[in-house]
Structure 1
Amino acid sequence: MAWSTRELAELAGTTVNAIRHYHRIGLLDEPERSHNGYKQYGTDELVRLLRILRLVDLGVPLAKIADVGAGGVTTTTILKEQSAELKSRIVRLQRARADIAAILRYDAPTDAPAGFVAVAARLSESDKSMLHITNRLYDADAMTDLRRMVEFDADSSDAGPAIDTLPADADEETRERLAADLAPILARHLVDYPWLTNPVKHLSQGPRVTQHTFVEALAALYNPAQLDVLARAGNLAGRTTG
C-alpha cells in the first residue's frame, strides 16, 4: 500500500510541512511518484519518518539526526550527547526555578543579581550592577563569600546607604566620617575572608581582564566622592589588619 504525503503525515502524527522540511534537509528521501506525479510513500519511508520523529521527541536536533551514519556517528553517540545536554539543561532550569521562587518570596527586583535576591531591595543600582559584573569575574565560592559580606553589611551598618547617596562634591568631613564608619566592616571582611588580599585563585577570568574590568566598572558606576571614600576605608582597614 502507498500513502500520499497527507496520509503519511496523519499516520505518523506529524504535519505535511514537517515532512517537506525533512525532504529539503535530506533527512527523508524523496519517494517514488505515481503516473500523475503524486508522491507515493511506502513502508520504508514510514519507518524512516517514525525513527526521525522518535529522535525529535527525545530532543535530538535535526542537524544531529542528519549526522547519524556519517563519519562513524551512531545513534548511541548522538543519544549520549543529548543525554549530557539534557542533564545540563535540567540543572539550568532547576537553578532558574529556584531563582524565580526566591525573587517571588522576597518580592525582589527581577534583575537582582544571582544569589543576592534576599538583600536586593537594600542594594543601590550601582551595587547591583557591580555584583552582576563581579559574578562574571569570580568563581562560585567567592560569590558565596561576597553574598555573606553584603548580608553582614546590610545588617550591621548604615554606612552603605549613606555612601550610596553621597554626592560627587561631598565635603572632606563627610568623606572622612563615612570612611571611618566603613573601615571596621572592611577590616572584618579581610579577617574573615583572607583571599580578598590575593583573589587570584578565585578568578574565573584572567587577572589582567579582571583588574581592567573591575577598575572600569568602578569608575563608571560610582562618583569621585564615593570612590574616594571606598579608597580611604580600604586603606584604613588594611592598616588595621596589617
Structure 2
Amino acid sequence: MTWSTREIADLAGTSLRSVRHYHQVGLLPEPDRRSNGYKQYGMRHLIRLLRIKRLVDLGFGLAQIAELGEGDEHPDEALRALDADLAGQIERLQQVRAEVAEMLAERVPTDLPPEFARVADRPLPEHERQFASVMGRLLSDDERVLYAELMSDDARTPTDDDFDALTDDADDASRQELARRMNEDVKVLRERFPGLSSLGGANPARYRRIVEQVSDEVFNAAQLDVLRRMKALRQGTVT
C-alpha cells in the first residue's frame, strides 16, 4: 500500500507544504516514485511523518527533531527538557494572568510595572505616572521594589503635593522655600531608605542622563527650577 503526497499529508494531519518542507530540511526521506513520476509513500514514511507532527505539536523545533534522529529510541532527555520549559512557561503565564486580573480589577495604567501598579492606590498626576513608567525600565528588580515604597502614600509628604501643584507663575520665594522643604524631606527619605542614593547603580551615567531627559519632558519650568535649587542646596552652593 502506498500513498501520494496529498494522501499522506491528510493521514498525518499536516499540510502539503509541511511535507515538502520536511523533505527540504532532511527530516523526512524522499520516497520512491511511480513510473508516472509521482511520489509513493509507504508505512515508514507515514510513521516518520506522524512522529514529526507529534513532536512539532508538543513544541519541539525542527532542529531539535533533527537531533533526535530517525530511530525509535524514546527521547526521554528531550522530553524532560521540554517538560521543564513548559513548566516555566506555565509559571510565567500564571504570573501574567495574575497581573491582568489586577489590572482589570484596579484599572491601573498598563505602562506601569506591577510593583508600581500595586501601590498606585491614588490617581497619579500625569507627570508622576510618566516618570514612574520610565523608572520601571531603568531600575533593577530590587530597585523597583524600593521605588514602589517611595510611591506609596506612606512615603508621601505635603511637600510632594505642593510640588505636584506648582505652576509656572510661582514666585521666586515660593520656589526657594519649596526646594528647601523638599531637600529636607529627601534627607529623611535617604535615612529611611538607604538604597535611595544608589538607584540606577548598574549604569549611573545612563540613569542620570535619562532621568534628566525625562524630567525636562514631564515637569513644568517651575518644577524644574525647584529641582535645580534642590541640587544647589545639596551641593552647598545656596544657603
Q: Scaled by the length of structure 1, what TM-score is found?
A: 0.77
Which residue of structure 2 aligns with residue 89 of structure 1?
89
Structure 1 gap ranges (5+): none
Alignment partner of 1:189 is 2:189: yes
Q: Are the counterparts in 2 of residues 167 and 225 from structure 1 also a CA contact under 8 Å?
A: yes
2:64 partner letter: K
Which residue of structure 1 aligns with residue 133 of structure 2?
132
1:178 partner letter: L
Cα 1:232–1:152 shift into 2, 3 Å: farther
Show CA shifts across 1:5-49 (max 9, x none): 232223222233322332233322222222222221112211221
Show CA shifts across 1:74-107 (max 9, x none): 9566545544543443343223212211111112
Superposition pairs of residues 37-116 of structure 1, within 5 angstroms: 37-68=37-68, 78-79=78-79, 82-116=82-116
2:33 partner letter: R
Q: 2:207 aligns with which of 184, 207, 210?
A: 210
Q: 1:40 and 1:199 mapped to 2: Cα distance?
A: 67
Q: Are the counterparts in 2 of residues 126 and 222 from structure 1 also a CA contact under 8 Å?
A: yes
Alignment partner of 1:146 is 2:147: yes
Q: Are the counterparts in 2 of residues 108 and 121 from structure 1 also a CA contact under 8 Å?
A: no
Cα 1:157–1:199 shift into 2, 3 Å: closer
Moved more, 124-133 or 177-186: 177-186
Q: How many angstroms does 1:122 deviate by?
A: 2.3
Which residue of structure 1 aligns with residue 8 of structure 2?
8
1:11 partner letter: L
Q: Are the counterparts in 2 of residues 12 and 46 from structure 1 also a CA contact under 8 Å?
A: yes
Q: Which is greater in Rg?
A: 2
Q: Are the counterparts in 2 of residues 153 and 185 from structure 1 also a CA contact under 8 Å?
A: no
Q: 2:130 and 2:65 mapped to 1: Cα distance?
A: 42
Q: 1:128 and 1:64 mapped to 2: Cα distance?
A: 45
Q: Are the counterparts in 1 of residues 3 and 42 from structure 2 also a CA contact under 8 Å?
A: yes
Q: 2:132 and 2:41 mapped to 1: Cα distance?
A: 59
Show CA shifts across 1:49-93 (max 9, x none): 122122212212224334445xxxx95665455445434433432
Q: Are the counterparts in 2 of residues 187 and 237 from structure 1 also a CA contact under 8 Å?
A: no
Cα 1:184–1:97 shift into 2, 3 Å: farther
Q: How many angstroms does 1:151 deviate by?
A: 0.7
Q: 2:228 and 2:206 mapped to 1: Cα distance?
A: 21
Identity between Structure 1 and Structure 2 (%)? 38
1:39 partner letter: K
Cα 1:82–1:64 shift into 2, 3 Å: same
Aligned CA RMSD, in angstroms, stands at 3.2
Q: Are the counterparts in 1 of residues 190 and 197 from structure 2 also a CA contact under 8 Å?
A: yes
Q: 2:122 and 2:18 mapped to 1: Cα distance?
A: 48
Q: Scaled by the length of structure 2, what TM-score is found?
A: 0.77
**Equivalent position SS for 1:136:** helix
Structure 2 gap ranges (5+): none
Which residue of structure 2 aligns with residue 228 of structure 1?
225
Moved more, 31-40 or 123-132: 123-132
Q: 2:87 and 2:229 mapped to 1: Cα distance?
A: 48
Alignment partner of 1:32 is 2:32: yes
